[in-house]
Copies of this chain bind each other. A is one copy, B any other.
Amino acid sequence: MTTIYELQTPALLVERSALERNLATMSAALPGPRLRPHVKAHKSTALARMQQAAGHRSFTCATIREVEGMAAAGLGQDLLLANEVLDARRLGDLVSRGARVTLAVDSVPTVEAAVMGGLREVLIDVNVGLPRCGCAPGDAGRLAELARSRGLEVRGVMGYEGHLMLVGEADDRRKQVEECMTKLVAAHGDVGGDIISAGGTGTFSVNTWANEIQAGSYALMDTAYGAVDDLPFEQALFVLGTVISTTPPADGIPGWAVVDVGLKSLGMDHGNPSIPGATVWFCSDEHTTWQPEPFESVRLGDRVRVVPAHVDPTITLHERMWLVDGDEIVDELPVDLRGW
């Protein structure tokens, strides 16, 4: 395979130059351990290896399978599972085989699961305002004490201000992040340890309280993050499709085209994807119906780059990404961290 015209569609494309600029921009802003790249965004050890080459050696994971895959790929120097589990045995197996795995805990049973599973290190997960996981800030110290009494090393705290990632106005975002991080820093005072882990692509530059940021989407981007004005990252991810049907304008209805990219190749929780210079009407399982402007600008068989609204759930639908330089394919990035 040498060009995108030889690919079976739909197919994920990653524009190499945009990816490289995104990685460089982030590692300049948050060098080395200041960034703990979140692999849930791309689910690819090949892409994680590029992040490692940019200087980051500690990674964030969302699932046990991601942790296992990263360890198997030799990227297990410092893996954080930033999520709660009640059966940690698979993680303990990795630790016993030499990987460094730190697990988030937010309750007595999750601390017990870490102990029973054979983990050695944990972070106390603190609820900083997003109603999801995390203990109340005032409970963090007691939970750390319990964990230490059970023989665990408590490395510090984490708290994810996920509800602020897409706040459009930077000053507003900074102010709200400060409120969240004030809680996390206070909890850290009670917990101790070296780590204050938080943040994401939307808050990487305004979250100055955390000492490591868990950003993932920055590498590839999507239209939701693209709408946040002050982010210095470029769209690098596209779903390549083929125009398989066109219907010319008639009876006052504009003409439309259909590309073979649909609900099964796109994460849809942030809404429809975009096609530059055109209006997307709707998506079906294997189709996106859209209105080219002008209609004559599109022909049957054309290859079209569809821009996903949400990077993470899009990538998990694909077996691989193709690293491209324009229309030329330069490498294959397997999406090898899917499943659970």
Interface residues of A (CB under 8 A from B): 8-10, 40, 62-64, 83-86, 106-107, 109-110, 127, 131-134, 136, 162, 242, 244-247, 250, 253, 256, 258, 260, 263-265, 267-269, 281, 283-287, 289, 300-301, 310, 312-313, 316-317, 319, 339-340
Contact = CB atoms under 8 A, between A and B. Distances in A.
A145 to B, nearest CB: 20
Which of A133, A253, A289 has most chain B Cβ within 10 Å?
A: A133
A295 to B, nearest CB: 13
A238 to B, nearest CB: 16
B84 A264 contact: no
Contacts of A300: 86, 107, 109
Contacts of A162: 284
A264 B316 contact: yes
A310 to B, nearest CB: 8
A256 to B, nearest CB: 5
A146 to B, nearest CB: 15
Contacts of A316: 264, 317
Contacts of A263: 267, 269, 310, 312-313
A323 B199 CA distance: 40
A339 B312 contact: no
A131 B283 CA distance: 11
Contact of A301 (B86, B132, B250, B319): B86
Given A131-B256, A133-B244, A265-B340, 11 more contacts: A40-B286, A83-B244, A84-B245, A110-B244, A132-B287, A132-B289, A133-B258, A136-B250, A263-B310, A264-B313, A316-B317
Contact of A132 (B245, B317, B340): B245
A79 to B, nearest CB: 16
Given A9-B340, A131-B289, A317-B317, A269 B242 contact: no
